Structure 1
Amino acid sequence: MEWLWIAVATCVLVPHSVKGNDWWGEYEEGIRHYSKEALNKEFPEKTRPASFKHPVFQCPDMSPSPTVPSSVEFVKAADIKVIAALGDSLTTSIGANATTVLGIPIEFRHVSWSIGGYGSFQDVITLANIIKLFNPNLVGAAPGKTVHGMQGHISETGFNLAVTGHNTFNLPGQTRHLIDTLRGYEGLNFEEDWKLLTILMGMNDICDYCKDKALFSADNFIHYMTVSLEMLMNEVPRMIVNVAQILPMQTLREVQKPTPGCLLQRSFCSCLIEPVAGSPELRELVEVNLEFQKKLEELLHSDRFFRDNFAVVHQPFLKHADPPRLPSGKIDMTFFTHDCFHFTIKGHEELAKGLWNNMFQPEGGKMIVNSFSDPITLTCPPMDHPYIFTRPIAARSDLPPLQSDAPSKAAILLLSLLVGRLCLV
């Protein structure tokens, strides 16, 4: 088994076009000092010592509703029975707990920000572990690790069905896999159980944009996102879908160290890393990044995906997020894996807290993180509204419908008066 890990790491690291004998020499040196124990070590010192525990998180009301809610607008955290996640390597949590660069191919799904189920909240803060404080019987949290490129079993993945390297055009396939898995999962009441799904997708489209500008356009991003959300809305009852806004990616260019692992950044996201600072190519990519964000907001700030038992909610906390920095202004590298691109557990925990807080904030009043330099404070559901906010502004009763072909009462009255006056003439 030990040589399997080495082979996987080699397959991932070697094929990339990284020049220079120094890289290969250091990589071979890493293999010579490789040990299975080091590769699989939980909580490397870079993240935290194994004895570390988070303080207890307690809220005034952590109880479920008296009866299972029938409306998507009145679902409390404790009412959530099932948790799931779709996306790419940020959701598979690739390399997040790696001890060395050789651990980058490992997908540490059990510590993933949106669905990791390792231990408890005091061990790792994930959205699933927060919800488990409210409902200890939560189904679907990812219990284990997988290896990139190898088929993972549901006993390892839970309902974390994200796939490393996937683009948004792969999202409908992930969605179909999830729907079929939920339908056939023993012990899950598909019709009655409330389900919480988190989707974060689109960063790989930007990383690949310069390779095929038509395929990885903002319009295609929205098309495949729309197809996926409509599949869920049409087929899955009692579901709330968090769609997290994608990151502004330009500042990831600053995440650099003179190490072999950091050379992988160029392979993971060449369209972002390779352009020269200030170049037209980089400016175009930054504009595309902003267009992705804008079009996603436009898609979700409506009542298109809002029903009595289903809602899609745009969670914008990452919209302006800047990488965590030290007091000197330099990037805090303890938040990044050995590839200088993905997040360690520290980064995943900040994402989890940002998403949880957004879930209990109304549209128009959701927190947007400017920097991860200061840890996010986890908040409790408001006592006056202990439910996940799902109703979009467009669906509020005090506002006119987003689109309507029917004439309003005022228009009918005005038309009647005009006709009456014409009849008197």
Structure 2
Amino acid sequence: MDYRQFMTERLSDYKDDNMLTTRVLLLVCSLAPCHADGFTLEEEEDFNQDVLGTDFLRRPLHPSFFCPDMSPSPTVPTSVEFVKAADVKVIAALGDSLTTAIGANGSTILSIPFEFRQLSWSIGGYGTYQNVITLANIFKLFNPGLLGPSPVWTFHGQPTTVNETGFNFAVTGHNTLNVSDQIRHMIDTFKSYPGLSFEEDWKVVTMLIGMNDICDFCKDKTLFSTDNFIRHMTDALDTMMKEIPRTIVNVVQILSMKPLRDLQRPTLGCQLQKSFCSCLVQPEEDSTELQELVEVNTEFQRRLEKLLDGERFFKKDFAVVLQPYVENAEPPHLPDGTIDMSFFTADCFHFTVKGHEELAKGLWNNMFQPVGQKEVIKTFSEPVKLTCPSKEHPYIYTRPRVESSAAPLRRLCVPLMSLLSVFHSL
């Protein structure tokens, strides 16, 4: 079945006498005032094509990606430090609308309520790597039997099943305070899913959440404080470490969000920014409110890095690794200096498939770079070049930084050296 036929049949599950169009418009209008006020309204184009991207597979296929060693370990690893890509049996994701891939494959405001989970950077499983580059599709090159990639799109606010979402447990609009609910759902699904060995299978879980806390900060500075962000993250990671065996958790560092203020087009869609992230978008450029939000954003990043620096979330069969590649990334620019809006959806806030693919490649590369040597992307203007695991270290890097691991030994050595100097002076 080709993509156009697939999307048409799936659309028929919802569409009845243009009722889906009506529902989309009602939802969009609930998110932002539905009047043009001089902005360009582009919703009169073909609904199927512009909302669901039915011409998605018409673009050229990506070149094949091969590595010298794509084989699993001779036996199933027992240590989290020796897990190769082909050893990973299960992939999952936690987060918000960036991970549900809101609007990622549409071209108008009508696409915003659609969650293109099958194309999501960390978990999308549509087609193959050559169709769309996602972390899951890269892992599928190493293990075609991978469990969990998201197969289809969903509609925001509608009930879903694991057959639709795969192991993408992200929920559009969720804050960090909600992530424990996602984790409980994930654990229950893992334990009951046919063909998944909860105790034996190695799992990779990618978690990116916290941007909505910043977007809502001005509405409740206590509820969305840095302390609460760290408390919720700590509780979430503690739960996973306690309850899920054989797991590597990618915690992707949250983005610096101020550059999103520069994503502007004279369209109704861009006005949705004011609903998605009013605390960021509405303050004046030189206001104390904006400066405070930028400082909170930086503090979120700093405190998250501090939380994950060391062996706090590391044991024989479990590790949490901070992947920092997007922490300072600037929006991509065209040669004339303007922002390349092809990376962003009609709401001028979320990523299109083009942006999702760069997020996926950057995450994969970070996973095979040691702590302290992980690439940090400056801008997506230049495509990220996907790399292979090295011959010297073909495993996903999970060992915390050496300095942190050696700290207890250094603390012991200092008094011992002082004592030896005393004896030497006698």
TM-score, normalised relative to structure 2: 0.91
Name 1:6's counterpart in structure 2: 21
Structure 1 residue 280 displacement after superposition: 0.7
- Residues 381 and 212 (structure 1 numbering): CA distance in 2 closer, same or farther, change over 3 Å? same
Conservation of the 8 A alpha-carbon contact between 1:303 and 1:394: no
Name 2:331's counterpart in structure 1: 323
Name 2:93's counterpart in structure 1: 85
Instruction: Please show how residues 159-174 of structure 1 align to structure 2 within 5 Å.
Output: 159-174=167-182
Are positions 1:184 and 2:182 aligned together?
A: no
Q: Distance in 1 between matches of 2:361 and 2:394?
A: 17
Q: Distance in 2 between matches of 1:328 and 1:83?
A: 40
Q: Distance in 2 between matches of 1:149 and 1:19?
A: 20
Conservation of the 8 A alpha-carbon contact between 1:303 and 1:395: no
Instruction: Please show how residues 352-363 of structure 1 align to structure 2 within 5 Å.
Output: 352-363=360-371
Conservation of the 8 A alpha-carbon contact between 1:105 and 1:147: yes
Are positions 1:306 and 2:310 aligned together?
A: no
From 52, 63, 80, the equivalent of 1:72 is: 80
Letter in 2 for 1:205: D
- Consecutive unaligned residues of structure 2, counting only runs of 5 or more, are 1-13
Percent identical among aligned pairs is 57
From 34, 41, 54, the equivalent of 1:42 is: 54
Runs ≥4 in structure 1, deviation > 4 angstroms? 394-397, 409-419
- Consecutive unaligned residues of structure 1, counting only runs of 5 or more, are none
Indicate the RMSD between aligned Cα atoms, in angstroms. 2.3
Name 1:145's counterpart in structure 2: 153
- Residues 185 and 23 (structure 1 numbering): CA distance in 2 closer, same or farther, change over 3 Å? farther
Structure 1 residue 198 displacement after superposition: 0.1
Are positions 1:370 and 2:378 aligned together?
A: yes
Letter in 2 for 1:200: L
Instruction: Please show how residues 86-105 of structure 1 align to structure 2 within 5 Å.
Output: 86-105=94-113
Letter in 2 for 1:400: A
From 63, 66, 69, the equivalent of 1:55 is: 63
Name 2:221's counterpart in structure 1: 213
Conservation of the 8 A alpha-carbon contact between 1:251 and 1:323: yes
Name 1:296's counterpart in structure 2: 304
Q: Distance in 2 between matches of 1:113 and 1:20?
A: 33
Structure 1 residue 39 displacement after superposition: 2.9
From 110, 135, 139, the equivalent of 2:143 is: 135
Structure 1 residue 53 displacement after superposition: 0.3
Are positions 1:231 and 2:239 aligned together?
A: yes
From 251, 254, 257, the equivalent of 2:265 is: 257
Conservation of the 8 A alpha-carbon contact between 2:125 and 2:151: yes
Structure 1 residue 37 displacement after superposition: 5.5
Instruction: Please show how residues 400-415 of structure 1 align to structure 2 within 5 Å.
Output: 400-401=407-408, 408=412, 411=415
Letter in 2 for 1:59: C
From 33, 37, 40, the equivalent of 1:18 is: 33
From 189, 201, 216, the equivalent of 2:209 is: 201
Residues 25-59 of structure 1 deviation map (CA, whole Å, 9 limit, x = unaligned) = x76x83x6553455333355xxxx61410011111
Q: Distance in 2 between matches of 1:301 and 1:122?
A: 36
Are positions 1:283 and 2:295 aligned together?
A: no
After the TM superposition, which of the residue ranges 8-17 and 61-70 deviates more from structure 2? Answer: 8-17
Q: Distance in 2 between matches of 1:403 and 1:107?
A: 50
Q: Give the length in aligned residue pairs.
A: 410
Conservation of the 8 A alpha-carbon contact between 1:302 and 1:402: no
Structure 1 residue 412 displacement after superposition: 6.6
Structure 1 residue 103 displacement after superposition: 1.2
- Residues 21 and 357 (structure 1 numbering): CA distance in 2 closer, same or farther, change over 3 Å? closer
Structure 1 residue 151 displacement after superposition: 1.4
Are positions 1:339 and 2:351 aligned together?
A: no
Letter in 1 for 2:407: P
Q: Secondary structure at the match of 1:331?
A: coil
Q: Distance in 2 between matches of 1:269 and 1:352?
A: 24
Instruction: Please show how residues 105-144 of structure 1 align to structure 2 within 5 Å.
Output: 105-144=113-152
Q: Secondary structure at the match of 1:299?
A: helix
Conservation of the 8 A alpha-carbon contact between 1:335 and 1:346: yes
Q: Distance in 1 between matches of 2:120 and 2:288?
A: 35
Conservation of the 8 A alpha-carbon contact between 1:81 and 1:137: yes
Q: Secondary structure at the match of 2:408?
A: coil
Letter in 2 for 1:66: P
Q: Distance in 1 between matches of 2:416 and 2:300?
A: 41
Structure 1 residue 387 displacement after superposition: 0.3
Q: Distance in 2 between matches of 1:56 and 1:418?
A: 65
Name 2:401's counterpart in structure 1: 393
Structure 1 residue 416 displacement after superposition: 10
Q: Secondary structure at the match of 1:312?
A: strand
Structure 1 residue 99 displacement after superposition: 3.4
Name 2:4's counterpart in structure 1: none
Letter in 2 for 1:290: T
